[in-house]
Amino acid sequence: MNKEDPQTILTEEINPLGGEEKAEKGMEQETLELMGFKLADEEYAIDIMQIKEITIPLALTPIPRAPDYILGILSLRGTILPIFDAKKRIGLPPREKTNRTRIIIVNNGTEQVGILVDDITSAARIPVSAIEPPPPVLKGVEAEYISGVGRVDDRMMIIMNIEEICKMEGSDSL
């Protein structure tokens, strides 16, 4: 038996349960839970397992000579976190902060970082089989920041590659 056979058997055993029960029981193998958010007018998402918390924007301390996509640092419950402007990082136009603006605190390897977003939209479960690779028309910078595209109901969510978004030029991370 090859390595995939047990997963096939597991899927076949789950299938008779149908709908919601199937998704919950097979979630580790079949679905990805995502948190959706807006950057400009586009909807993006990240794996919910990477999120530590979501907070309102707080006062930031600027970092001299930091790249322009790093807004500054934030002290959150005694932890110093760099805050990234995801729109600048991926080349989207700036937008004024509103009462919907949030900072998503994510685990990036062994570090935590914040990502400024325009709005939190919704959480969604997407079957892994429904996640497609980034379109081939995206090249270079744009493609490296996207890990895939998922369809949820009648909308598409662009799944961000947090490791690349939070990578400093010339190093692995901040």
Domain architecture of the chain: domains with CATH: 32-165 (2.40.50.180)
Tell me how far apart the alpha carbons of residues 151 and 117 are, in angstroms, rounded to a whole number. Answer: 21
CA–CA separation, 15 vs 78, rounded Å? 47
Residue 58 has pLDDT above 80, yes or no: yes
Q: Is the pLDDT of residue 129 over 90?
A: no
The more confident residue out of 17 and 29 is 29
Per-residue pLDDT at 73: 95
- If you ran DSSP here, which 8-state letter would residue 15 be given? G
pTM for the model: 0.74
Structure tokens at 94: 């700036």
User: What DSSP string describes 18-41?
Assistant: -HHHHHHHTHHHHEEEEEEEEETT
Assess whether pLDDT exceeds 90 at residue 114. Answer: yes
Quote the pLDDT of residue 23: 42
How far apart are the C-alpha atoms of 162 and 50, rounded to whole Å? 9
Does the structure show a pLDDT above 90 at 51? yes
pLDDT at 11: 32
* pLDDT bracket for residue 89 (50, 70, 90): confident
